[in-house]
Amino acid sequence: MTQIRTATRRFGLSKSKITAFEQCPKKLWLATHRPELAEQDDGAEARFATGNAVGEIACALHPDGVMVDPPSLSEALAKTSSLISEGHPGPIFEATFEHDGVLVRVDVLERLDSGGWSAAEVKSSGRVKDYHRGDLATQVWVMREAGINLQRAAIRHIDTSFVLSREGDYAGLFTDADLLADLEDAIATRPSLVAEARATLSGDEPQREMGDHCGAPFSCEFTAYCGRDLPQGPEWPVTLLPYGGGRRWLERGVEDLLDLAETDLNDRHARILAATRDGIPFHDAAGARKVMAGWGWPRAWLDFETVAPAIPRWVGTRPFQQIPFQFSLHLERRGGRMTHHEFLSCDGSDPRRACAEALVSNIPEGATIIAYNAAFERSVLRELAASFPDLSSRLEAMAEATVDLLPVARNHWYHRDQRGSWSIKAVLPTIAAELDYGVLEVKDGGDAQAAWFEAADPACDPLRREALEEALKAYCARDTWAMVAVARALAGS
């Protein structure tokens, strides 16, 4: 029997704390000593829920497994030791180990025929990410030091090619990337890394300048705190230049956009500088009209709202597939007559067929479909076409007939208040300030997804679901009417 070694040290560090230290020592110190300063982003709760759901499925795929879930960590260590020493065939979920004050809980620990063990860290992503390697290295180091004969260590991530073929059957959802051989160098750094982390925690708050590490691999919850005393930068920083255009100027020591000359810049950046400096928007109405004159009639101003669950909910869908649950359509006839049509499904059933049928019913053959950042709408239409062969010819024709308003705005309009962005929510206030998203309950795509998940939950109160549906309709209709307003302003009409 394998005998594992346990220790009586105080548990000061964990895998997640070491990951925080690798991102930034100050982040670890603040999370430990000043956690009240953290400001969680809006998506944290949803990511946590997804991670839990993925973990539950990973366990459910091994019905003979046993969960280590006693109320205290010392009991978890003891239970893990007992299961291993008594020859439990595995798998063991949340197997708990400790070495040198570092405690890890292994998502799935499986016994191999050779007598050794295989560990898997379950992730809700569709690929191995760099920080996953550090997570796994910490686990391997602790398990080896605890006496585990570890012969395989993998990141168990979602296989994006998986297609749900039967409701509730997730066999094949995961794929393993065995990284044990690749991690030896990282494993060897764990003792010194742990010593550095412990020294950091025992000292005063570390000093570190803010930089790219504040957002990678995670957005740091202490960014506002760390930036509170930074000197205020220029009103118009060079970082407003899009596509990373400001970085090379920062490297040369130039921070203020207004310190540049138009002759230093390409045409688009020069327009941004001129509009920012003079306060006069750049507007090429003739150029915008020329582009849009080539768009046929009728014109279907279209916007989708989608969800992309990591775990496929409906038969025939893949992980992270964009599933349209809503669209808004402003249908404009030659001469200006406008009608509004919409589709929304919040009952939790597969919305794709009903959405596809509503598109075919409401968009006339031969219509020009107009979207903002149209690659997304085209991809949704083509996914629907692939799913429903009887509707595919109409849906594929719609995808082919889709044109993009975004490059028209990008090439023919810039107001300094856009601050380097041509997202519709940046452009719209400079053209039609009365169409304010701020007054809506659902203000952006993230809000829309959160509203759908809440409404589709069977436990959602019917009155709350009705309110969410109305909020979603108002938001999506605002998106398509915003396109109409922007296009008319661009054309000077």
- Flag whether pLDDT at 4 surpasses 60: no
Contact 240, 274 (CB under 8 A): no
Q: Are 482 and 428 in contact (CB under 8 A)?
A: yes
- Does residue 40 carry a pLDDT above 70? yes
pLDDT tens digits along 121-164: 999 999 999 999 999 999 999 999 999 999 999 999 999 999 99
Report, as an integer, the average pLDDT of 20-33: 96
pLDDT for residue 339: 98
Confidence at residue 41, expressed as pLDDT on a 0 to 100 scale: 79
Give the pairing of strands 92-99 and 66-67.
parallel
Calculate mean pLDDT across residues 12-36. 95
Mean pLDDT value of segment 33-47? 87
pLDDT at position 308 is 97
Q: Check pLDDT > 80 for residue 2.
A: no
6 — pLDDT class (breaks 50, 70, 90): very low
In angstroms, the Cα distances linking 338 to 333, 361, 374 are 6, 17, 21
pTM for the whole structure: 0.91
The reported pLDDT for the residue numbered 176 is 98
Mean pLDDT of 150-179: 97
Q: What would the pLDDT profile of 217-265 be if each residue is shown by its tens digit?
A: 999 999 999 999 888 889 999 999 999 999 999 999 999 999 999 999 9
pLDDT at 98: 96
Question: Is 380 within 8 Å of 399 (Cβ atoms)?
Answer: no
Residue pLDDT, tens place only, 147-158 = 999 999 999 999
CATH architecture label of 281-493: 2-Layer Sandwich (3.30)
pLDDT for res 466: 97
Say how far apart CA 139 and CA 121 lie, in whole Å.
9
Contact in structure between 80 and 68 (CB atoms under 8 Å): yes
pLDDT in the model for residue 271:
97
pLDDT value at residue 470: 98
> Is the alpha carbon torsion for 156, 160, 161, 167 positive or negative?
positive
Residue 3 has pLDDT above 70, yes or no: no
Per-residue model confidence (pLDDT) at position 350? 98
- B/e letters for 140-159, b = 16+ CB within 10 Å, e = fewer, are bbbbbbbbbebebbbbbbbb
Mean pLDDT (the chain) is 95
Answer yes or no: are the C-beta atoms of 209 and 388 closer than 8 Å: no
- The CATH class of the 13-202 domain is alpha beta
2 vs 94: CA distance, rounded Å: 18
Q: Calculate mean pLDDT across residues 68-86.
A: 94
What's residue 11's pLDDT?
44
Q: What pLDDT score was predicted for residue 8?
A: 36
Q: Which residues pair with 177 in a beta bridge?
A: 155
> What does the pLDDT look like over 85-103, one tens digit per residue?
999 887 999 999 999 999 9
For residues 176-197, average pLDDT: 97
Is residue 12 very low, low, confident or very high in pLDDT (cuts 50, 70, 90)?
A: confident
pLDDT in tens, 267-308: 999 999 999 999 999 999 999 999 999 999 999 999 999 999
Do 284 and 276 contact (CB within 8 A), yes or no? Answer: no
- What is the per-residue pLDDT for 182? 97
Tokens matching residue 319: 């992980």
Res. 82: pLDDT tops 50: yes
Could you read off the pLDDT of 371-427 as tens digits, one per residue?
999 999 999 999 999 999 999 999 999 999 999 999 999 999 999 999 999 999 999
Q: What is the pLDDT of residue 44?
A: 79
For the chain, what are the domain ranges?
Answer: 13-202, 248-280, 281-493
5 pLDDT more than 70: no
9 pLDDT more than 50: no
3-class SS letters over the chain: CCCCCCCCCCCCEEHHHHHHHHHCHHHHHHHHHCHHHCCCCCCHHHHHHHHHHHHHHHHHCCCCCEECCCCCHHHHHHHHHHHHHCCCCCCEEEEEEEECCEEEEEEEEEECCCCCEEEEEECCCCCCCHHHHHHHHHHHHHHHHCCCCEEEEEEEEECCCCCCCCCCCCCCCEEEEECHHHHHHHHHCHHHHHHHHHHHHHCCCCCCCCCHHHHCCCCCCCHHHHCCCCCCCCCCEHHHCCCCCCHHHHHCCCCEHHHCCHHHCCHHHHHHHHHHHHCCCEECHHHHHHHHHCCCCCEEEEEEEEECCCCCCCCCCCCCCCEEEEEEEEEECCCCCEEEEEEECCCCCCCHHHHHHHHHHHCCCCCEEEECCHHHHHHHHHHHHHHCHHHHHHHHHHHHCEEECHHHHHHHEECHHHCCCCCHHHHHHHHCCCCCHHHCCCCCHHHHHHHHHHHHCCCCCHHHHHHHHHHHHHHHHHHHHHHHHHHHHHHCC
Residue 7's pLDDT band (boundaries 50, 70, 90)? very low
Count of other CB atoms within 10 angstroms of residue 10: 6
> Do 194 and 104 contact (CB within 8 A), yes or no?
no
